[in-house]
Structure 1
Amino acid sequence: MAGEYYDDSLSVTGSTGPSNSLTTLTNVAGAVVSFALIVGIGVWGYKLLVRDVSGIPVVRAASGEMRIRPDEPGGEKASHQGLSVNAVAAVGTAAKPADRLILAPKPIDLTAEDQVMPASMVTSGPQAAQVANLPEEATVLDANEVKAALESGNVDDLVAQLTAGVAPISDLGNSTEETLASVNSSIVEEVVAAEEQVAALVAGPGLRQSKRPKKRPAVRASVTPAAVVSSGSPSNEVKASSLPAGTRLAQLGAFDSPEVAREQWDQLSRRFDVYLSDKTRIVQKATSGGRVFYRLRAMGFEDIADARRFCSALVAENADCIPVVTR
């Protein structure tokens, strides 16, 4: 360019400045890495020389217990176990009460004074010690003297001997009446004070009489014994042909003859009198695969849910029962 001076040495010097610094840094980093490798190899070689040549590893013993016994070895119990209501979801009704084992109480050991006294220790004769323990002023009469006085009718001397030293009642004067009056007045005062206290309690604020809690269950189911109907008199039996469609029933089994079905009903009535007391018997003839059989069914349910609850109660006692609906 005209009027300007261009120096090639300046351009070369300016372009090589940064590359020289980068080369220097690279050389320094390589030297440091090489030195680290040399130190590491030296340490590794030293450990190889001083290590245990036997090759048996040394294990430090663990501190503390190796095993700790749990607080509940058999596991923790889940909540709400053993309740009768747990069987409602499975069978429809509550389960029977759990069997309880109650041990007899320990025998009571009687003390020496409570033991039975042997007959050899009881004397049959009169004890003179009782007579000797009487007070000095007491008069002891002979049995023969008392008998002779009673036979002769002259008991004045006997009464005089018994009442010797005792003041007669007539000599007391009005002391008896005064004593009775004082006793009566004290009794009357106590009665009046008690009546006033009761009146104050009744007239005061608060509940007059505590209410007793009702017994649980408040209304107990009345158990009516079911009338056992013999197989020969089907008075409690309804014909299956007279039932309208949609009637809820419970089938209790299928039998070869109607007599066997009615006998089975009698057995179930004695076993489940609480459930079958208000039910009606139905013996229905049916045919399947060329075979004739008789179905034993019970009628008297409000809905299908009532029939299911009924069958759940019988199945819980190992009896056959299936809720059905007539078509």
Structure 2
Amino acid sequence: MADYTQNPQGGFAPHLHPEYAIPRGQAVGKLTNFTGAAVSLALVVGIGIWGYKLLVRDVSGIPVVRAAAGEMRVRPEEPGGTLAEHQGLSVNTVTALGAADEVTEQVRLAPQPIDLIDEDQPMADFEEVSADESSDVTQAPAAEDIASALESGSVDSLVAQLTDGIMPMEATEDESLPVLASVAVPDVQDAPEVLEGDGMSVSLRPSQRPARASINAGTDSGGMVVPAAASASTTELEAASLPVGTRLVQLGAFDTPEIARAQWGQLSARFAPFMEGKQRIVMEAKSGGRTFYRLRAHGFEDIGDARRFCSALVAESVDCIPVVTR
């Protein structure tokens, strides 16, 4: 039985006789591959550009307008605009309104131009005057004549020549009299008499400072200096006896009640007008396992009075806080 090895299109099967097989379209396949690669690459590049634009665009959607260069508004050279020529003439009224304007009641001619006086004329217009024509000008003597007159001693003739033709000046009555100038002479004061004595050894000592500002030499148990006048007139109140809502002023917190009372004395001596009529309150308080004592002042009508008091003390670098009892 015969063995047929040809395919229906003709030729031999590729697996039997490759050399006789019909060649495939290799060129078409390569072109297809290159086209697909180019399309894929263009798609990737386009997606990348589109994603970048999404990232950098304005999320709020408000359009951004670039500012124009230069000045926004420029002042014109003529603020009122350019003035047209021949304004105010009657012929312009015919063109603007279509009819002639009313007849003017009075017509005036333009004034004559102003002429310059002789003093203001240009210098070229003046005529030159020769020395011979001028009779008012006196010729001065030559330098040689002056030298010869001085050598010969005839000065009088030289003076007469210089003063020839000159009118003598008549002295007035006021000018002929001598003028006496009055000069204000200061009064001479006698020097103070020098007192003879022993000197500085017996001179008076300066007076003492006022008693209000003096500090008592004695100290309390805490070692702080307390003014005698302030400590004698100070009234101390118990914190428990005050009703709720009382207006107070806190002047600081201290470790011991003695230090708080000494601070009150210093403030009373320093701000005597403000501390007048105020009562002292030393209140014990605890915070964080630590015991301290608050120094407060009583005697204010309302919160406004307390704030004014604190404003005066804070202006002098003193701690002061308005508070209310609870």
Normalized against structure 2, the TM-score is what? 0.31
When Rg is computed on C-alpha atoms for both structures, the one with the higher figure is 2
Q: Which has the higher helix share?
A: 1
TM-score of the two chains, using structure 1 as the length reference: 0.31
Higher relative contact order (CA 8 A, sep 6+): 1
